[in-house]
């Protein structure tokens, strides 16, 4: 469970498999993947990139929100 802006959002491990697959492909730990993703999100958020900010509702996303939005956008672009 993640706490974001005073609200709890529950993903029930929905994205654990995605993170695990990335870790296996890269030969690193799940914790390392989460750290790298957090750093990438922080850099993108800190840069105030208008596209990034709009995509995530002008708030810093959690890793799970990031994966969910990126996955949805990839599916839309392939349709």
Mean pLDDT by 10 residues, the chain (79 residues): 44 79 92 90 87 86 86 76
**Cβ-count burial of 77 within 10 angstroms (0-12 exposed, 13-18 middle, 19+ buried)?**
exposed
Q: Give the position of tokens 């695990």.
A: 20
- Residue 27: in which H helix or E strand, if any? none
| pLDDT reported for residue 12 | 63
Are 70 and 55 within 8 A, CB to CB? no
Residue 4, token pair as written in the block: 């974001």
Global pTM? 0.64
């Amino acid at each position: 469970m993640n706490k974001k802006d005073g609200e709890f959002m529950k993903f029930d491990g929905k994205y654990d498999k995605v993170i695990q697959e990335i870790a296996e492909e890269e030969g690193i730990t799940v914790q390392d993947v989460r750290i790298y993703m957090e750093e990438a999100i922080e850099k993108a958020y800190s840069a105030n990139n208008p596209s990034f900010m709009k995509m995530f509702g002008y708030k810093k996303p959690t890793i799970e929100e990031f994966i969910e939005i990126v996955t949805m956008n990839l599916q839309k672009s392939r349709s």
